[in-house]
Amino acid sequence: MIFAVKNLPFHRRLIFSLRRLVHSFAYFLASVVALWLFLAVLMLAESAVYAMTGVSVSMWAMVIAAISTAWFFLPVVQFLQNLMDHILFRQQLDTLHAIQALGVGDLASLPQEHVEMALLERIATICHRSNIVLDERNDDGTGRLFCYPKGSPVPPLHGQSGSFYELILPIQWQQGMAWLHLGSRTDGWPTDQDERRSLKSLANFAAISLEHTRLSYQQSQHVRLDSISRVTGQLHSHDIKNRLHDLAFLAHHMESGKLEEDDLKILVGSIRKVVGRMETIMLRMSDPNAPIHPKFKPCDLTALLKQQIDERLWPELIHLDCDLPPLPAIKGDAVLLQGVFENLFDNATQAMNKQGVLQIRAQQDEKNIMLSVCDEGNGMSDDFIKKRLFCLFSTSKEDGLGIGLYLSQRIIEAHDGQLFASSEGIGKGSTFWVVLPCFEYQEHEVSLP
């Protein structure tokens, strides 16, 4: 559906009429130019006929002048109209230029969650529109809705007309129907029929490009998931699986009573913890997108952290600065949370090249427990944190897989918590925050510090 001119406000209809008047003026100018062209051709033709026949006035000269004038009249009109548009209406849409300026070739290099917004921002800039909305919602209201800028009014379902958006362009692709809602022009000029046709062509091209980008991203994800599944499958079938069997066999026979009872219990418990953690790691690596089902129990986060810090083999040049006061219990899965903390400690240690001060802090606000892990390492840019840090297969390490932080964030979110990071910039260290609700506020929405 496309709005008609009669639906425009009164002042914009006046502007539209003014442009029509300017275009009509082009015909007047073209008529004047045509008259001068007729006279010029007539004089040249009379001179040619006189030179060949000796006749001073000839009907052939009149015919030649008239045909020449009629042949060039419409091109002159079109030239004058385009010239006036260029002078008075500089922001008219040129489809070919718009497609080139859209720059859809680099969309596939963006993270998936930024593709739609980047495309809408480019369309808004090229088409000089104040607001743009891509509506992919279904009959029941489900589906996705992308608004640029954020906070733009939400249009009705199925491309129904509204008072805010000037144009509604239907788009058809494999997923079904979608609608592109365009706000008014930033220069205040109305949209003519030529621009509407150009906008529709641009919208269809953008939709095809967006669909291609999404399919390319999905295919890339499937390929990488398949590759890592094959690698981890081989590891699980050989080295790591054998080590797990060895540890389990050793733990079984150590219970025979040949060691001191206290030492035996400590050693057996440690071995079984290692086995459990390795099994969890392999299970998660085999499919990073597998559903996470925590086994919730009351958990003392302070005791869990202290135990993990004490049992971990830290590099000699890493100095710990810990502040872990007694805290209220949380409802969590200790095994999954230990995996998250191990990942944060590993990343911090590697970022500092295994030397420096590592600060580990825990504190409580009204309803949440907040853990911070602060290192003196390489640091990160804001752009990397926003666009890549917690994305699957995104990593800044040469030998990294880009899975650890992605899984850690999913685990924390499965606990109704949040995992996020901050950094003052490259070379200035990083801080990771884990926010978990206290046991009695598990159902309450988590608030950031």
Looking at 33-37, 92-96, 298-302, which range is the least confident one? 92-96
What percent of the chain stands above pLDDT 90?
A: 13
Looking at 65-69, 344-348, 354-358, which range is the least confident one? 65-69
Bigger pLDDT: 204 or 266? 204
The yes-or-no verdict on residue 35 having pLDDT over 70 is: yes
CATH class of 290-441: alpha beta
What pLDDT score was predicted for residue 413? 92
Residue 231's pLDDT band, with cuts at 50, 70 and 90, is: low
Residue 327 phi, psi dihedral angles, 5° rounding: -130, 155
Give this prediction's pTM. 0.45
What pLDDT score was predicted for residue 32? 81
pLDDT in tens, 194-206: 777 778 887 887 7
Domain spans, the chain: 5-88, 95-219, 238-286, 290-441
The yes-or-no verdict on residue 211 having pLDDT over 80 is: no
CATH T-level fold of 95-219: Beta-Lactamase (3.30.450)
What pLDDT score was predicted for residue 92? 55
Looking at 103-117, 206-220, 275-289, which range is the least confident one? 275-289
pLDDT in tens, 322-338: 999 998 889 899 888 98
Q: Which DSSP string do the residues of 292-345 spell out, in sequence order?
A: -----EEE-HHHHHHHHHHHS---TTEEEEEE------EEE-HHHHHHHHHHHH
CA distance 346 to 399: 14
Helix then strand count (H, E) for the chain reads 11, 11
> Which residue reads 């599944």 in tokens?
229
**Mean pLDDT over each residue of the chain, to the nearest integer:** 76
> Which residue reads 């808004």 in tokens?
124
> Which residue reads 């129907």 in tokens?
177
